[in-house]
Amino acid sequence: MNRNVWRTLPVLLFVALTTWATGTSETATGSQYRIGVFVPGVVDGSPTYEMMVSGVQQAADEAGSTDVAIVEGGFNQATWEEGVMSMAASGEYDLIVTSNPSMPEITASVAEAVPEVRFLVLDGYLEGHDRIHTILFNQQEQAFLSGYFAGLVTSSSMERANAAGRVGLLAGQEYPIMNDVILPGFRLGLQSVVADGQVDFRVLGNWYDAGKAQEIASDMITQGSDVILTIAGGGNQGTIAAARERNAYVLWYDDSGYDQAPGIVVGSSFVRQDRAAYQATLAAIQGTLAFGDAEILGVSDGAVSFDTEHPAFVDNVPAGIVSEMKDLLDRMRSGELTLEMPVPGGR
């Protein structure tokens, strides 16, 4: 019997090694982790999308053996679901990464039809789907930071400020987080400084038309706004052009925007979507991302903040305003001032 074992062992070993070798060679070609990034719009000019792409790319570079394809879905929102569906159905991706508050619903519907693919949705919220992980930022805090700063600027003796107590918000389009969180958060921040301050809220109607954005922003300035928060993707350049021409200030949102127009962009709140995309993508590649989870990240996580360090901020804003913004951030970081992010869809 012993002899039999020794006789069969080489055969077993051979079979095991062959299987192992075949398995290995299969993994060698199939071991690439394949990521498709679906951009609902275009990358260029949209801070959240630029951060998504750079974070995913960084994670892939670091992990190795990972392919990344970027697919721009364009501005026709009616085609996005079809776009994500064809990516998912192609079988070419293990993970699809995307960003914006309308994408959780779209990815959930695609996930029902295509069972193999997993999704990472940034700047969106959906809890409990076993193949979808979402990461939302506390935009209540972010908008409050921007509004508070707008209040400090509009009530200051800065060169382009006036006494009207009126500031602007230009949005690409209306959607629940814009109307129910960003606008009220911005207004609350403003009125924490200027009790009777008013927000002139305008909607561009798309995320690209800088010419139309310039006309709208120019009209806002005529109506008394001396500071305009611009959240309009490629349209933001029109807001900057109007402010440059008509002597007003611009507040940037989502990433640090001072370099866009130093001295005109005087304040910038931001979210660390680049870091969130990097960390979550790396975890997905390594197999440790908790699908089904919906994260909400805020100031106390270091994921939402206001850039008080950039030279164009410190150089163009009175020292008193710089320190008031730093104090506000300290109060929010320590938990002395909390602003809860309402969960989309309610809970």
Give the binding site for ligand RBF (CB under 6 A): 40-41, 46-48, 77, 100-102, 123, 172, 175, 177, 207, 231, 233, 253-254
| Bridge partners (DSSP) listed for residue 250 | 228, 265
Which residue, 33 or 253, is less far from ligand RBF as judged by CB?
A: 253
Least distance to ligand RBF, CB of residue 248, Å: 21
Is 127 or 180 the residue whose CB approaches ligand RBF more closely? 180
Phi, psi of 154 (to 5 degrees): -65, -25
Closest distance to ligand RBF from the beta carbon of 344 (Å) = 11
CB of 44 to ligand RBF, least distance (A): 10
Minimum distance of ligand RBF from residue 110's CB (angstroms): 16
8 Å CB contact between 320 and 157: no
- Give the separation between CA 285 and CA 66, rounded to whole angstroms: 8
Shortest Å distance, C-beta 138 to ligand RBF: 11
For the CB of residue 118, give the shortest distance to ligand RBF in the complex, in Å: 21
In the complex with ligand RBF, the residue whose CB is nearer, 100 or 316, is: 100
Partners of 265 in the β-ladder: 250, 262
Please, where are the H alpha helices in 74-228? 80-89, 103-113, 139-154, 176-177, 183-193, 210-222
Cβ proximity to ligand RBF, 75 vs 291, nearer residue: 75
CB closer to ligand RBF out of 83 and 172: 172
Q: How many CB atoms lie within 10 A of CB 43?
A: 15
Sheet-wide strand order for 118-122: 66-72, 33-39, 95-99, 118-122, 132-137, 294-297
Walk across the sheet containing 265-271 and list its strands.
198-203, 166-171, 227-231, 249-252, 265-271, 304-306
For residue 340, give the DSSP letter. Answer: P
**Closer CB to ligand RBF, residue 254 or residue 324?**
254
Burial of 25 by CB count in 10 Å (0-12 exposed, 13-18 middle, 19+ buried)? Answer: exposed
CB of 238 to ligand RBF, least distance (A): 13
Q: Which is nearer to ligand RBF, 158 or 277 (CB)?
A: 277
